[in-house]
Amino acid sequence: MLMVVAMLLGALSGELIDIDARLNTLGLFLQKKLTKEDSASKFSEGFVTATLLFCVGAMAVVGSIESGLKGDHSIIITKSIIDGVAAMVFASYLGLGVLFSALSVFVYQGIIEFFAGFLQNILTASLIDQVSAVGGLMILALGLNMTAGAKIKVANLLPGLLFAVGYYLAV
């Protein structure tokens, strides 16, 4: 039930503030500044897709927490290797924008790692499992967008991660 409620509330709040449009605007801004004028460029799509894919997975959250609390960087290093291979595959199709998603990942994981000490009593294994389940649904939505041509605004689902935490702690 947590996953359904978190995704529903996340989708509603994400649509209200339209995270997807803001992330796409950032991608288009970077595309204008860093590439030649080409309307067929996939820079923005690559940036947004890779950012979402590399940020919503369980390894991004768990690895950053382990790194911040225990100084154990093994999960982050493993994630970096996996993301590096995936980035090469995505870059072959989506272009240079995939490279710039590394900035978003750095900020996202850096924030989690920095605040891990403050959250160590809140972040239990079962809470991380619930957040990972919500992230897994977002990865599924990304996969549907890429393979089936669906037009799911995955970025608008991102608040669902926060609602999963809030719902878990409230219940």
Residue 27 forms part of a structural domain: no
CA distances in angstroms from 62 to 122, 125, 126, 150, listed in the order given: 13, 9, 12, 29
* Prediction pTM value: 0.79
Domain residues for 64?
Answer: 2-7+42-170
Residue 12 forms part of a structural domain: no
Residue 131 forms part of a structural domain: yes
Residue 132 forms part of a structural domain: yes
Query: What pLDDT is recorded for position 32?
Result: 86
Query: What pLDDT is recorded for position 9?
Result: 94
Query: What pLDDT is recorded for position 16?
Result: 96
CA dihedral 2, 5, 10, 16 (to 10 degrees): -160
Residue 21 forms part of a structural domain: no
Residue 32 forms part of a structural domain: no
Number of independent structural domains in the chain = 1
Quick one: 126 exposed, middle or buried, by C-beta within 10 A (0-12, 13-18, 19+)?
exposed
Mean pLDDT of the chain: 88
pLDDT band at 78 (very low <50, low <70, confident <90, very high): very high
pLDDT at 128 over 70: yes
pLDDT band at 117 (very low <50, low <70, confident <90, very high): confident
- Mean pLDDT on 3-15: 92
Query: What pLDDT is recorded for position 17?
Result: 94
Residue 15 forms part of a structural domain: no
Mind listing the pLDDT tens digit for each residue in 33-76? 887 766 567 888 899 889 988 988 878 888 888 888 888 899 99
Query: What pLDDT is recorded for position 38?
Result: 64
Query: What pLDDT is recorded for position 40?
Result: 61
Distance CA 70, CA 63 (A): 10
Residue 35 forms part of a structural domain: no
